[in-house]
């Protein structure tokens, strides 16, 4: 499965896919099943894994964009740029810890290590990643 197929899987669902992915896992699983089964029914796990890889790449790009926006900011009443930059780094690290705790630990407890644990974990990570990426764009991308 190549990147174009994965993006097609996600893009076919348009904004509804992103909206659903940002909600609780219970509704995510159903939406992701629908979105990914259109490409390759037995390859949903692969679809989700590749989608997460692409989403992580987009998140890293959004984070880099946010750091650049801070560096370019010349408004004096926003405090020292190093503090702002450091605050963003700490916030991002805390968010990564939250995503791991929420998706790895809690999902494992909820699924009781059942057969759906793998896709459930990845779907949770994907939903949080898409939401965080959108948030960074809203806050730091002047084109938004």
pLDDT band at 12 (very low <50, low <70, confident <90, very high): low
- Is 0.75 surpassed by the pTM of this model? no
Buried b (16+ CB within 10 A) or exposed e, 17-47: beebbbeebeebbebbeebbeebeeebbeeb
Which tens digit of pLDDT belongs to each residue from 99-126?
Answer: 999 999 888 888 887 777 888 889 899 9
- Which residues neighbour 118 within 8 Å (Cβ) at sequence distance 6 or greater? 45
Which tens digit of pLDDT belongs to each residue from 31-70?
Answer: 555 555 554 444 667 788 889 999 999 999 999 999 999 8
Domain ranges of the chain: 3-140
In the predicted structure, residue 83 carries a pLDDT above the cut 60: yes
Q: With both helix axes pointing from N to C terminus, report the angle between 44-72 and 81-100 in degrees, rounded to the nearest 10.
A: 170
3-state DSSP call for residue 50? Answer: helix
CB 37 within 8 A of CB 115: no
């Amino acid at each position: 499965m190549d990147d174009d197929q994965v993006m097609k899987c996600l893009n076919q669902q348009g904004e509804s896919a992103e909206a659903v992915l940002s909600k609780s896992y219970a509704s995510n699983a159903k939406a992701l099943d629908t979105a990914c089964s259109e490409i390759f029914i037995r390859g949903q796990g692969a679809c989700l894994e590749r989608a997460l890889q692409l989403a992580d790449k987009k998140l890293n790009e959004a984070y880099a964009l946010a750091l650049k926006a801070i560096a370019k900011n010349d408004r004096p009443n926003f405090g020292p740029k190093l503090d702002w930059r450091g605050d963003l780094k700490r916030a991002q690290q805390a968010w990564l810890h939250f995503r791991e705790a929420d998706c790895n630990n809690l999902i494992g407890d909820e699924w009781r290590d059942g057969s759906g644990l793998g896709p459930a974990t990845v779907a949770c990570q994907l939903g949080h990643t898409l939401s965080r990426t959108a948030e960074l764009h809203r806050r730091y991308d002047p084109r938004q």
